[in-house]
Structure 1
Amino acid sequence: MSPTTPSTTSNTSASSTGRATRPNPLRDPEDKRLPVIAGPCCMVLFGVTGDLARKKIMPAIYDLANRGLLPPGFSLVGFARRDWADQDFGKIVHDAVSQYARTPFHESVWDNLAEGFRFVPGTFDDDEAFDLLSATVDQLQRERGTGGNTAFYLSIPPGFFGQVCEQLARSGLATPRDGSWRRVVIEKPFGHDLKSARELNAIVEGVFPPDSVFRIDHYLGKETVQNLLALRFANQMFEPIWNSNYIDHVQITMAEDIGVAGRAGYYDGIGAARDVIQNHLLQLLALTAMEEPISFQAEHLRAEKEKVLASVRLPKDLAKATARGQYAPGWQGSEKVIGFLDEEGIKKGSTTETFAALKIEVDTRRWAGVPFYLRTGKRLAKRVTEIAVVFKRAPHLPFTDTATEELGQNAIVIRVQPDEGITLRFGSKVPGTQMEVRDVTMDFGYGSSFTEKSPEAYERLILDVLLGDSPLFPRHEEVELSWRILDPVEKFWSRQHAKLEQYPSGGWGPTCSDEMMARDGREWRMP
């Protein structure tokens, strides 16, 4: 199959015997898009000189084209304060694709894609630049057949969202004409607290209607996160035990083995909780705890996630239910690394946390009494993101104490990255004449079970933007509910007596995090 030929998919697949199998329960039966290819459109990319555009967005666009999922006339317009011609912008995209694209480079795919590259130089306060951008979009409609359909990707700091949106409104770019659509894509952070999130939302939705605003949380585009829905709602064996009758607690972890990595200007003052817990981890919690939606349409998925976030309750004593720290000098593998306070660009005496842990509860009948533990940190022992659902111990074990002395609790672990898959932990008899039971694991890995490599999250999310398919994009209600959860924690931490513990790089975080778990008679999983 050539790289430009899309594969044909269907809601009903055929088995090796030729017999039709049952439809995929996670596909909307009313969805007739076969194959799922974006219609005529173009994308305007603000922030083309940033790392996100270079490492994720541009390569994802090429990979979509290589998979045959973009229309022949798709066009990409770059906007930046650079004195570039179209061909200069093309070289920037080419270099990014060559270094970071997931799929092989094919000249024919690249040549067709590059024909649609345009560049508009200017600043966000430059009326003439935005007028030229409007003329460029109109020109692409005539020359490339984009139909006037345009997505504006704001890969820029949130402080510029308002200015860019006002310019898009003033120049008429935000207004659809002749049946076309206009959409805006914004990256996190969606504010730094509830108040700023509401202000940001008012600015963006003052120009674009809510259904045309796509808030990117790249974790929701990951294959394993979506597979969490399949695990729960496509399998009868799991859903009956997915409740407080059987589950002891849930741990959601996002660990990074890197430091601030040149992001000091952004990270200092933001911290781990705002950077990760408010969006990524609370979204994973919502998907883990949600009830089965009526369908997998966007409004039904959002409704169930919002119910979960609205039912989250913080413990009364946040001193015992939270932990935070900063990484100190240490060893990352065989490399000696500096501490957070020694990183270039970090203010002297900064109190920004690089590790955050939080215990919360979900006040619903399904989850009453089941704590959820969330943690994230930098300079930890390894890079891993996982959801661990830990079950209660069996109420009665008809074995001697010595037969099960090392037996732990059953668990289902959903590995989001880097080794995407699912692990089941359960007790099994050790071969031999005696009755001895030990923990064993049963593992499913995407890499070994499927021949097709999983697409990058940005491929899925960008394609969904162009299709107008929004189940994976949080609306402002979810964003505000998440800030309602985190704001009290941030206010508590801002007090002088809130503990900020140093932890050595290369470990698993501060001791106060382990103490938080120990108070409940539990301990963190070691991934």
Structure 2
Amino acid sequence: MRHPVAKLLLFGATGDLAQRMLLPSLYGLHADGLLPDGLTITGTARSEHDDASYRSFAAEALDEFLPDDRKDKAAIASFLDRLGYQPLDATKIEGFADLATKIGDTSGGLAIFLSTAPTLFRPTIKGLESAGLAGTNVRIGLEKPLGNDLQSSCEINDAVAEVFPEDRTFRIDHYLGKETVQNILALRFGNALFEPIWNARGIEHVQITVSETVGLEGRAGFYDDTGALRDMVQNHMLQLLALIAMEPPSLYDGTAIRDEKVKVLRSLRTMTPGEVPHLTVTGQYNAGAVNGEIVRGYADELGHASGAETFVAVKAHIDNWRWQGVPFYLRTGKRLPTRQSEIFIQFKPVPHSMFAQRGGTLQANKLVIRLQPDEYVRLLVMAKEPGLDREGIHLREVPLDLSLDVQFAGTRRRIAYERLLLDLIEGDPALFVRRDEVEAQWQWIDAIRRGWAENAVKPKPYPAGSWGPSAAIALTERDGVTWHDD
């Protein structure tokens, strides 16, 4: 049962995420009449603002980051009227009393979005509790990163759990708010076509690729401490894997969906230190060219040598009945040739070809689920080429396309945070990550990192604009598999 709140509190309200995503998303919901009537939005951060100056700050962010066709003066003005601001140093507990006074009565419900450094989570939670902003009608949304290993993640989750129980804690992975990611559920569980072959009997392997063309882009400190494995694989890519591999939930319900995801994550085969060098590849980009532009190497951008990986490829296995023996290849990196996120599913070939004696060559079916920049689902099937077939039957692979941009051309494409913020406000947990999911993800990731440490694995260099180190190609080609790079 959804229970919309009357007030929203944004921590980190002057940060980059707030300017680029949160304020434009909240405005989009407001402009479309989706926010509860009377909902007030209070921002807080260290920056010194009052209500008026923060509204000016927000107006500038909307002017910069909203598409031109979404700018409506009247709608922007009425949205800004919802905004207030209270400066706060979250490390000083005495400032929370003034924040509580600013927010006022919370009997109608309060949602808190915490977009701060993880080191501030514990003092912020304690401050909220001390000021009476953690009652039973208050829910909290946590922006990643939630730790950098299992131990630190547990410490953060323990601090949150001291004040906010699990049913009022919403951990955000913005990938889960993407329309195409949600369409994985519709594709799998809304169509009888795929379920009979969505298993080890019908699927040969699965690839998940999240590639970026950008380099550090102002995230040098964070990224160098984190690396590609923890930045992308631990959260986004393992969530995609869980959605692809999970059993059918009984309901479209936060508990049912997350129960099935965590079963998959717990079934990931833990790598031994001896296996890690053979099942993973790490890389770091050197100077090269991306989209025709010469770019510097990672160390040059950073200003010093580093052992952080900007590329990682992993061969994973899920040890359960459905997926036994099916490899899942994960790949992500910076300064790669294209920006794309996709899931590629290679089905097994038909058991017998009736066309072989007539010269017909069959290829096994493939399914491509593209998440960005284009959003589509493409099924590659075999079809006969037109002709009288006097010289044999010619078969060709042809695509069956579902382009979301085309099929839903009249529907505005929303950014992920619009959905997630609205779900936080309304109290729908289905697209948020539960604690046991996070900890299962970290257990698997930590085993890989232990293997790297014990084997002194160092990132292999790769030129910017390439698809990573040559060892990543060998990782799949040993199994007779080629990365899907189209």
Taking structure 2 as the reference length, what is the TM-score of the superposition? 0.95
Asked if structure 2 preserves the Cα contact closer than 8 Å seen for 1:45 and 1:77, the reply is yes
Question: CA 1:334–1:308 in structure 2 vs 1: closer, same or farther (change >3 Å)?
Answer: same
Could you tell me which residue of structure 2 aligns to residue 420 of structure 1? 375
Could you tell me which residue of structure 1 aligns to residue 405 of structure 2? 447
Could you tell me which residue of structure 2 aligns to residue 117 of structure 1? 83
Single out whichever of 375-384 and 106-115 deviates more from structure 2: 106-115
1:129 aligns with 2:84: no
Question: Superposed, which structure 2 residues align to 1:341-380 within 5 Å?
Answer: 341-344=299-302, 348-380=304-336
RMSD: 1.7
Q: Deviations 1:64-113 (Å, cap 9, x if unpaired)?
A: 00110112311111112222221110011112222223562223322322
Amino acid at match of 2:71: F
Distance 1:308 1:127 in 2: 41
Distance 1:229 1:148 in 2: 33
2:215 pairs with one of 236, 240, 259: 259
Asked if structure 2 preserves the Cα contact closer than 8 Å seen for 1:232 and 1:239, the reply is yes
Question: Superposed, which structure 2 residues align to 1:307-346 within 5 Å?
Answer: 307-316=263-272, 317-344=275-302
1:100 aligns with 2:56: no
Deviation at 1:497, TM superposition (A): 3.4
Tell me the percent identity.
Answer: 42
Structure 1, unpaired ranges of 5+: 1-30
Q: Deviations 1:459-500 (Å, cap 9, x if unpaired)?
A: 000000011100111111000000111111111112453142
Could you tell me which residue of structure 2 aligns to residue 468 of structure 1? 427
Question: Superposed, which structure 2 residues align to 1:1-20 within 5 Å?
Answer: none
1:61 aligns with 2:16: no
Could you tell me which residue of structure 2 aligns to residue 51 of structure 1? 16
SS, match of residue 132 in structure 2: coil
Asked if structure 1 preserves the Cα contact closer than 8 Å seen for 2:207 and 2:344, the reply is yes
Structure 2, unpaired ranges of 5+: none
SS, match of residue 130 in structure 1: helix
Could you tell me which residue of structure 2 aligns to residue 391 of structure 1? 347
1:489 aligns with 2:444: no
Asked if structure 2 preserves the Cα contact closer than 8 Å seen for 1:75 and 1:113, the reply is no
Asked if structure 2 preserves the Cα contact closer than 8 Å seen for 1:57 and 1:458, the reply is yes
SS, match of residue 229 in structure 2: helix
Asked if structure 1 preserves the Cα contact closer than 8 Å seen for 2:14 and 2:47, the reply is no
Asked if structure 2 preserves the Cα contact closer than 8 Å seen for 1:40 and 1:73, the reply is no
1:239 aligns with 2:198: no
Amino acid at match of 2:404: Y
Could you tell me which residue of structure 2 aligns to residue 210 of structure 1? 166
Deviation at 1:315, TM superposition (A): 5.0
Distance 2:271 2:384 in 1: 40
Asked if structure 2 preserves the Cα contact closer than 8 Å seen for 1:244 and 1:367, the reply is yes
Could you tell me which residue of structure 2 aligns to residue 507 of structure 1? 466
Amino acid at match of 2:15: G
Could you tell me which residue of structure 2 aligns to residue 175 of structure 1? 135
Distance 1:526 1:61 in 2: 36
Could you tell me which residue of structure 2 aligns to residue 12 of structure 1? none
SS, match of residue 515 in structure 1: helix
Question: CA 1:189–1:402 in structure 2 vs 1: closer, same or farther (change >3 Å)?
Answer: farther
SS, match of residue 494 in structure 1: helix
Deviation at 1:296, TM superposition (A): 1.2
Distance 2:470 2:205 in 1: 20
1:250 pairs with one of 206, 222, 234: 206
Question: CA 1:402–1:326 in structure 2 vs 1: closer, same or farther (change >3 Å)?
Answer: farther
Distance 2:89 2:337 in 1: 42
Distance 1:257 1:284 in 2: 21
Could you tell me which residue of structure 1 aligns to residue 145 of structure 2? 189
SS, match of residue 70 in structure 2: coil
Asked if structure 2 preserves the Cα contact closer than 8 Å seen for 1:314 and 1:359, the reply is no
Distance 1:82 1:188 in 2: 22
SS, match of residue 423 in structure 1: strand
Distance 1:380 1:468 in 2: 38
SS, match of residue 54 in structure 2: helix
Taking structure 1 as the reference length, what is the TM-score of the superposition? 0.88
Q: Deviations 1:46-78 (Å, cap 9, x if unpaired)?
A: 112211111001100000001101123111111
2:109 pairs with one of 140, 146, 149: 149
Deviation at 1:404, TM superposition (A): 4.8
